[in-house]
Amino acid sequence: MSKTGNRQVRDSGGEAGKGRPRVDRGVLGRVFGMLLRAYPVLVPVAAFCIIFNAVCSVMPAVFQQKVVALIEVHWKSGDWETASGEIVPLVLVLVGFYVLSIAASTASRQLMAVITQGFLSKVRRRMFDSMQDLPIKYFDTHRHGDIMSVYTNDTDALREFISQALPQMLASGIIVLGVFGVMIWYSVWLALVVVAGVAAMIFVSRKLGGGSAKYFVRQQKSTGATEGFIQEMMSGQKVVKVFNHEDQALADFKKTNDRLYEDSFRAHAYANTLGPVIMNIGNLLYVIIATVGGALLLARVPNPSVRGLFAGAGLGVVTIDVLLPFLNMTKQFTGNVNQLSQQVNAIAMASAGAGRIFALMDEQPETDDGYVKLVDAVIGPDGSVTEADHRTGHWAWKHPHRADGTVTYTELRGEVTMNDVDFAYTEGKQVLFDVSVYAYPGQKVAFVGATGAGKTTITNLINRFYDIADGKIRYDGINVNKIRKSDLRRSLGIVLQDTNLFTGTVMDNIRYGRLDATDAECVEAARLAGADDFITRLPEGYATELSNNGSNLSQGQRQLIAIARCAVADPPVMILDEATSSIDTRTEAIVQRGMDKLMEGRTTFVIAHRLSTVRNADVIMVLDHGRIIERGSHEKLIAEKGTYYKLYKGVFELE
């Protein structure tokens, strides 16, 4: 449980291992639909190549029958010259089919590689695009490692389905149908024997394949849970070591890992059994066909066939030119039935993986009904506000009034008010009660109180990471629900307690606050925050590469860069959530001077445990269990000798 109060972190994939496997046809249908929309030409061309290659695979049986029939005829006459003249063209035609088959196979593989990787790239891009629109609540309530598993394991399951299982199913299905058609063309009796063998294969596939698919789906979910646990342990490794939690962490990992092992073991045990069983049923069927065919051949039993029906030759009998190709077709038929059965696992995993992918894509995006925009403005000597088409250093709210169609402009001053606000992260568990806050332009408002009192929650509501249950929040007199969230947040600068630095240079991380900022502006922001001194002493200065959340910097240095990032954005309202909590007192004094300059003329909300950092606040609000119990200046609250006084004197502790 994190500092998100009553919010609970859960697996995005649900509890692993529960429920029977279910291939969701709707999910797979959606995959096919997306494939066709993404590649409306390449997909049909690739399918044609696969089908053509499969048809070519059936042709040798037909040619073998014709060659054996010619040999049988000319064996009796002894006219081998005529036989060779008839057989060679057949062989050349067969060679031609093989050449075309090789070309079709090569083309289909290349096309499927382009389609698969391109499709997955589009899926990942769409997932990431959808993820950017999700509310903060989603990330507070889902394991980050499990979300990462959707991008890796689930997309890989989709890759295997599209690149391997789908072409194999199409090819094997065409071959099975084609071979069966040739079989009944030559002999209905032998075809019926094959059907009986296939019925046995299907029965075994349903029994073993169902179990295999069930555990492969469980494996998919267990993998996500395991990756989520590992990600948690990696990000919290220092905490693990500080509290000597290694043994307990290992025990917890063992439980998660054992579940993954159990699911993976059972999945592969079923899968590894299915192939040999199906293959040996095919071998047994081959022997049965040879025995039955031989008996029919010797007994000269009437042989009903489609060929005889169309040729008007009557029933006829089983001959050697029918039996020999039939044996080869039996191997080909059973082999492809085996290939089809092997795709059950890929289909089940793809269905489960695609379901999780679509769940992320379809997650309800952050709603934004705002229509008031933040624009560059020119402020006239008389206080009039007009919109500018260039950066002026002044901002205004552009407010279109839907009632009469007029547009008004309100200068962005930084006045924030909250009136009787109630809020709960989860229904029935209220965390704020009748909170009212009045922050006038240029004021410094401080929140103090124990952890969980609701300090950070208030700032989360100001920038609309969460929406209130009751009450009103106004920004420069405008209801924040009417302001577009992107514009609202652009007017707010936030320095969080937990610092996040991104892979890139120090300069890139500072410029993250405003992407069009020049190098000089970034350096000036760093000087203002007190970060320039240590940055210039880094190996490459501002060009020093950072990675792994700036692990090569101290916590204090990382926080200074975060403050510089906020400074370069030059926002009229700032939120400092324990901004100096990770900085030593000497560094804090340096930063505080810069912060004081940064806060000049800006409305600032400060959350701090060190009460020394809020002494100069215009208003200090003391929170307790979601209620504001005291408010006033430092001197006023000290004089009242209430909770703040006791906190300041050390009678109470904030924790």
Distance CA 384, CA 589 (A): 40
Residue 654 scores a pLDDT above 80: no
Considering only CA atoms, which of 333, 13, 353 is closest in space to residue 161? 353
Of residues 310 and 148, more confidence is placed in 148
> Average pLDDT for residues 534-547, to the nearest whole number?
90
How do beta strands 395-400 and 373-379 pair?
Answer: antiparallel
User: Rounded CA gap, 595 and 510, in Å?
Assistant: 16
DSSP code for 367? P
At residue 655 the predicted structure's pLDDT band, cuts being 50, 70 and 90, is very low
Asked whether the domain spanning 416-649 has the same topology as the one spanning 25-362, the reply is no
- 256-294 pLDDT, tens per residue? 888 888 887 877 777 677 777 777 777 888 888 888 888
pLDDT at position 185, please?
82
**φ/ψ (deg, to 5) at 383:** 85, 0
As a whole number, mean pLDDT of residues 376-383 equals 85
Lowest mean pLDDT among 136-140, 236-240, 461-465, 502-506: 236-240
The answer to whether the beta carbons of residues 274 and 206 sit under 8 Å apart is no
| Total residue count of the chain as it appears in this document | 655
* Residue 25 CA: distances (Å) to CA of 22, 173, 350, 351, 630: 9, 18, 11, 8, 60
Confidence band for 212, pLDDT divided at 50, 70 and 90: low
Mean pLDDT of the 500-522 span: 89
For residue 243, the SS3 value is coil
Question: Each residue of 327-349: pLDDT tens digit?
Answer: 778 888 888 887 887 787 788 78
**What does the pLDDT read at residue 12?**
44
In contact, 284 and 222? CB cutoff 8 Å: no
Question: Which range among 108-117, 475-484, 639-648 shows the weakest confidence by mean pLDDT?
Answer: 639-648
Q: Residue 649's pLDDT is what?
A: 77
Extract the tokens encoding 559.
Answer: 């926080």
CB 297 within 8 A of CB 318: yes
Q: How confident is the model at residue 17 (pLDDT cuts 50, 70, 90)?
A: very low
Residue of 641, 562, 548, 556 whose CA lies nearest to 598? 562
pLDDT given at position 304: 75
Share of the chain above pLDDT 70, in %: 84
- pLDDT 10s digits, 433-454: 999 999 999 899 999 988 788 8
What pLDDT does 10 receive? 47
The angle, 0 to 180 degrees and rounded to 10, between the axes of the packed helices 188-204 and 320-362 is: 30
- pTM for this entry: 0.73
The stretch 126-154 carries a mean pLDDT of 86
Give the pLDDT band of residue 2 (cuts 50, 70, 90): very low
Question: What confidence tier does 371 reach under pLDDT thresholds 50, 70, 90?
Answer: very high
List residues bridging with 422 in a β-sheet: 470
Q: Which class is domain 25-362?
A: mainly alpha
pLDDT for 73 equals: 61
Mean pLDDT on 64-69: 67
Q: What is the DSSP string of 163-208?
A: IIIHHHHHHHHHHHHHHHHHHHHH-HHHHHHHHHHHHHHHHHIIII
pLDDT of residue 3: 40
45 vs 146, residue with greater confidence: 45
CA distance 71 to 90: 13
Q: Spell out the domain ranges in the chain.
A: 25-362, 373-411, 416-649
As a whole number of angstroms, the distance between CA 648 and CA 629 comes to 15
Which of 262, 259, 272, 260 lies closest to 345 in space, CA to CA?
272
pLDDT at 402: 80
- Give dist(CA 262, CA 79) in Å, integer: 67
Q: Quick check: helix, strand or coil at residue 214?
A: helix
DSSP three-state, residue 467: coil
> CA-CA distance, 495 to 531, in Å (whole number)?
14
Query: What pLDDT digit, counting tens, does each position of 286-338 carry?
Result: 888 888 888 887 777 777 777 666 655 556 677 777 777 777 788 888 888 87
Indicate if the pLDDT at residue 594 is higher than 70: no
Contact 476, 412 (CB under 8 A): yes
Q: Does position 153 have pLDDT exceeding 80, yes or no?
A: yes
pLDDT at 78: 59
Asked if 262 and 303 touch (Cβ cutoff 8 Å), the reply is no
Average pLDDT over residues 572-586: 76
* pLDDT winner (highest mean) among 83-87, 179-183, 519-523, 564-568: 519-523
Q: Which helix (H) or strand (E) holds 64?
A: helix 42-77
Q: How far is CA 379 from CA 195, 382, 387, 492, in A?
A: 86, 8, 9, 21
Q: Which CATH architecture has domain 416-649?
A: 3-Layer(aba) Sandwich (3.40)
| Confidence label for 75 from pLDDT (cuts 50, 70 and 90) | low
pLDDT at 83: 61
Rounded Cα distance, 525 and 567, in Å: 5
Cα 330 to chain center, whole Å? 44
Per-residue pLDDT, averaged over 91-120, amounts to 88
